[in-house]
C-alpha cells in the first residue's frame, strides 16, 4: 500500500471519528476533507474541489437549507400539530399523518425535495408521539422508500458526467 493510500485511509477514519464525536460542525468536517487531501498531496486542488460546483451537490445542499427553514420557522410544528390534532398521537395516526404530508409534498416537489422537506416535519411527529422512536423510524423508512428511488437518478446522472455509469 502506498503512502498516499495510507494517508487517505487515515483522513477517512479521522473524518468518521469527528462526525461521531461532533467537536465541530459536520459541514466543516465535510469541507475539511478535500482541503486535507489537497494539502497532503493526495489530490490536486482542482480534483479536490471539483464536486463543490456539481449541480447534484448544490441541489442536495439547497434541500437541507429548505428543510432547516421549515423547521426553524415553525412550519413543521404547525403541520405536525394540525395532523396530530386530527389523527391523534398513536403510532397508526402518526403514520397516517406522515403519509398525508408525504403525499402533499410530493404533489408539488420532486422526490428528493419531498425527502428533504419531510425530514423536518417527521422530526416533529417523532418528538410528540407516544410511540417507540425506533419503531417509528423503521416504519417511516419503509413508507418513504417508495419515493426515494428517484434520488438515484440524480446521482446516476451526476456520476455519468464523470464517465462512469449509464449515459443519459
Condensed to tens digits (0 to 9), the pLDDT of residues 12-33 reads: 999 999 999 989 988 889 889 9
* Mean of all residue pLDDT scores within the chain: 75
Q: Which single residue is written with the C-alpha cell 402518526? A: 94
Label residue 145 by pLDDT band (50, 70, 90).
low
| Integer CA distances (angstroms), 53 to 63, 103, 105, in order | 16, 31, 27
In contact, 56 and 158? CB cutoff 8 Å: yes
Q: How far apart are CA 1 and CA 128, in angstroms?
A: 51
In contact, 74 and 121? CB cutoff 8 Å: no
Amino acid at each position: 500500500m502506498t503512502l498516499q493510500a495510507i494517508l487517505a485511509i487515515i483522513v477517512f477514519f479521522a473524518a468518521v471519528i469527528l462526525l461521531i464525536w461532533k467537536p465541530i460542525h459536520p459541514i466543516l468536517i465535510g469541507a475539511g476533507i478535500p482541503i486535507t487531501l489537497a494539502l497532503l498531496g493526495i489530490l490536486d486542488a482542482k480534483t479536490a474541489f471539483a464536486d463543490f460546483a456539481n449541480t447534484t451537490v448544490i441541489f442536495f445542499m439547497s434541500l437541507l437549507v429548505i428543510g432547516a427553514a421549515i423547521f426553524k420557522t415553525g412550519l413543521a410544528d404547525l403541520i405536525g400539530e394540525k395532523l396530530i390534532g386530527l389523527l391523534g398521537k398513536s403510532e397508526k395516526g402518526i403514520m397516517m399523518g406522515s403519509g398525508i404530508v408525504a403525499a402533499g409534498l410530493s404533489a408539488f416537489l420532486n422526490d428528493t425535495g419531498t425527502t428533504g422537506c419531510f425530514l423536518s416535519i417527521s422530526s416533529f411527529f417523532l418528538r410528540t408521539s407516544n410511540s417507540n422512536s425506533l419503531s417509528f423510524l423503521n416504519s417511516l423508512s419503509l413508507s418513504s422508500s417508495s419515493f426515494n428511488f428517484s434520488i438515484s437518478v440524480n446521482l446516476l446522472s451526476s456520476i455519468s458526467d464523470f464517465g462512469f455509469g449509464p449515459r443519459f
